[in-house]
DNA sequence: ATAAGCGTTCTGCCTTAGAGAACAGAACGT
DNA sequence: ACGTTCTGTTCTCTAAGGCAGAACGCTTAT
């Protein structure tokens, strides 16, 4: 939703921050060209951000500081869901030896809260804070499957069904069929849809109200996950982890 | 350093964000009282932040979203030092079974980039992004010891020498004596200074230029770290980890 | 030396942020 | 059902201040 009465000055500051995220470090002149702002305006914004710790100057160039990490870390730490789930996800990674992930939905997209690597884990370039379309991962699908249908429609309308690989779900009907399966099974599977050769299994974490809080998954190369595992031992283990989190949250 | 020509509108937005960090979720009216701003101003700022994903509205209340985690994660991931050091710190935690940490200096304070927990690790409430005064931890001391003396003076002037426990260094002279020791030994020790019963050992990671990039540490309860360990096997292991990082960074 | 680049400062016009009032809706106790 | 009192949101108008553009000091290249 767009703001009815946006604070334009703030939007300029945010545009500047977004630019610094993309590339950088930047000089004042460079940024002023990039953003179509006067040099003085850019300078004023940068020094303001700097005095509050959001931006640093080194060798005459400006870049973002670690204040964003501090704020992000603080926000994550204040989430009960994260605090309860974190040890379970780590345990899951340690026991399976693979990559375990924790995802929540925010504004219709998935946000990774953390990942934990087991001894043999593949090294995807996911990281805490990374956003992903919900329909492209097992984690996302298991969340979509537990949202009201109307909300799913909203999310599709807003974010589309952009597809990463030929195997991905590409149409609305296809997605709803998949979500039906997920609901029936209780977990979601991604067999090479996001990344060729990568198998992924996700289970939902639900509050006592039935609302979905997030999802837990394990990702592993297909070579190490047999078809039997994929429908036997693995879902059992992931569902059990999700269940422990549910119990700990709902006391 | 304060901005010469601060963008006051941006400062109001930042004040609002800082307030949302502290507590929340907040309503518009509540925030307008807290920050001495009109309701319309608060509302305009909040909706502007919301439309850019920084703030979320749920049940009529506003709170910060995970965009900060995304930005922070992105910034951290783009730091070569972090990318190289991260696997070493994890290995250190796994091998020792204790808590391993990674810290960098920014604007005169220490910022934890990550922590990794071994099987027996104590659970301190540090987290990625957390800030700490440099003189209060082994990590910080090992960084101070590798900065130019003039810079150390600056940092003390700016941040003081506030002390957490009676054992901490409390005076300028005492600190410089400690830093001399650290330089001589090559690593820093914190024996219950920050937290009673907690022993901590830190080693610096330096660029080929000699500039200190950050520090690696292991924290463990005193009951599990004998005096011999503290000056024998443990520093050897931590220094080795720091050394590997140095080699990987300097190719 | 000269020039061309940078970041920073300055000034004054004119955009615009925001106080305050008005409004719509929800949540109360009566 | 009713008025009351919260809330978040919209509106208007004017004083405040953002910022374009010019000028300045500095470093680096020619």
Q: How far is the CA of B1 from the C1' of C6 (A)?
A: 21
Topology (CATH level 3) of domain B8-65: Arc Repressor Mutant, subunit A (1.10.10)
Residue of A75, A87, A88 to mutate when probing chain B, most B C-beta within 10 A: A75
Q: Which nucleotide is nearest to B30 (CA to C1')?
A: D7
> Can you point out the beta strands (E) in A9-155?
55-58, 61-64, 99-106, 109-117, 131-133
**In chain A, domain spans:** 8-65, 72-249
Q: What is the chain B residue with the closest CA to A48? A: B6
Report the percentage of chain A scoring pLDDT > 90: 73
Q: How confident is the model at residue A168 (pLDDT cuts 50, 70, 90)?
A: confident
Chain B residues with CB under 8 Å of A48 CB are 3, 6-7, 10-11, 14
Residues 6+ apart with CB under 8 A from A247: none
DSSP state of B7: -
d(CA A153, CA A159): 10
Bridging pattern class, strands A61-64 and A198-206: unpaired
Q: What is the mean pLDDT of residues B193-210?
A: 91
Question: Which neighbouring-strand residues pair with B62?
Answer: B26, B57
Q: How confident is the model at residue A196 (pLDDT cuts 50, 70, 90)?
A: confident
Residue A227 has a pLDDT of 72
The token duo for B4 is: 């010469």
Q: What is the mean pLDDT of residues A54-76?
A: 94
Min Cα separation A1/chain B (Å) = 6
- Looking up tokens 């700097």, which residue turns up? A50
Q: How confident is the model at residue B83 (pLDDT cuts 50, 70, 90)?
A: very high
Least confident window among A97-101, A222-226, B82-86? A222-226
Q: What is the mean pLDDT of residues A180-193?
A: 92
The token duo for A230 is: 């994929």
Q: What is the mean pLDDT of residues B188-209?
A: 91
Q: Is the pLDDT of residue A166 over 80?
A: no
Q: DSSP 3-state helix, strand, coil percentages of chain B (rounded to 5)?
A: 50, 20, 30
Mean of pLDDT over chain B: 91
Report the percentage of chain B scoring pLDDT > 70: 98
- Return the CATH superfamily for domain A72-249: GAF domain (3.30.450.40)
Topology (CATH level 3) of domain B72-250: Beta-Lactamase (3.30.450)
Q: What is the mean pLDDT of residues B26-39?
A: 91
List the single residue in B71, B106, B125 with the smallest CB-CB distance to A72: B71
d(CA B225, CA A116): 27
Answer whether the bond into residue A25 is a cis peptide, omega within 30°.
Answer: yes
Residue A224 has a pLDDT of 87
Q: What is the mean pLDDT of residues A181-186?
A: 94
Q: What is the mean pLDDT of residues A153-160?
A: 91
Positions in chain C where some atom is under 7 Å from a protein CB: 5-11, 16-22
Q: Is the pLDDT of residue A43 over 90?
A: yes
Residue of B40, B49, B75 to mutate when probing chain A, most A C-beta within 10 A: B75
- Of B128, B114, B117, nearest in space to B91 by CA: B117
Residue B125 has a pLDDT of 86
pLDDT in tens, B107-131: 999 999 999 999 899 989 899 999 9
CB contact under 8 A, B72 and A77: no
Q: What are phi and psi of A222, to 5 degrees?
A: -55, -30
Residue B42 has a pLDDT of 94
CA-atom Rg of chain B in angstroms: 21
Q: What is the mean pLDDT of residues B31-58?
A: 93
Residue B216 has a pLDDT of 98
Mean of pLDDT over chain A: 91
CB contact under 8 A, A66 and B21: no
**A–B interface: beta-carbon pairs under 8 A:** 174
Chain B residues with CB under 8 Å of A43 CB are 5
Closest residue (Cα, C1') to D19? A41
d(CA A246, CA A238): 12
Q: A8-65 with A72-249: one CATH topology?
A: no
Residues 6+ apart with CB under 8 A from A50: A56, A57, A62, B1, B3
Positions in chain D where some atom is under 7 Å from a protein CB: 6-12, 16-23
d(CA A217, CA A112): 11
Q: What is the chain A residue with the closest CA to B42? A: A7
Q: Is the pLDDT of residue B240 over 70?
A: yes
- In contact, A202 and A141? CB cutoff 8 Å: yes
């Amino acid at each position: 939703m767009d703001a009815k009465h946006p604070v334009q000055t703030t939007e300029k500051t945010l545009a500047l921050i977004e630019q610094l995220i993309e590339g950088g470090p930047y000089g004042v002149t460079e940024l002023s060209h990039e953003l179509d702002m006067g040099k003085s305006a850019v300078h004023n914004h940068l020094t303001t951000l700097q005095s509050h710790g959001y931006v640093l100057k080194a060798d005459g160039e400006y870049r973002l500081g670690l204040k964003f990490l501090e704020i992000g870390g603080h926000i994550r730490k204040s989430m009960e869901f994260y605090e309860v789930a974190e040890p379970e996800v780590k345990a899951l990674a340690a026991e399976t030896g693979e990559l375990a992930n924790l995802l929540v939905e925010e504004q219709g997209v998935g946000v990774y809260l953390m990942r934990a690597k087991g001894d043999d884990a593949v090294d995807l370039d996911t990281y805490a804070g990374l956003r992903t379309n919900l329909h492209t991962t097992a984690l996302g699908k298991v969340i979509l499957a537990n949202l009201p249908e109307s909300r799913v429609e909203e999310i599709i309308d807003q974010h589309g069904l952009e597809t990463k690989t030929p195997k991905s779900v590409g149409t609305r009907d296809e997605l709803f069929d998949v979500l039906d399966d997920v609901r029936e099974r209780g977990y979601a599977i991604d067999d090479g849809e996001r990344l060729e050769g990568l198998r992924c299994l996700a289970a939902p974490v639900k509050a006592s109200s039935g609302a979905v809080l997030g999802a837990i998954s394990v990702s592993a190369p297909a070579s190490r996950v047999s078809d039997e595992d994929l429908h036997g031992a693995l879902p059992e283990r992931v569902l059990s982890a999700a269940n422990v989190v549910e119990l700990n949250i709902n006391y």
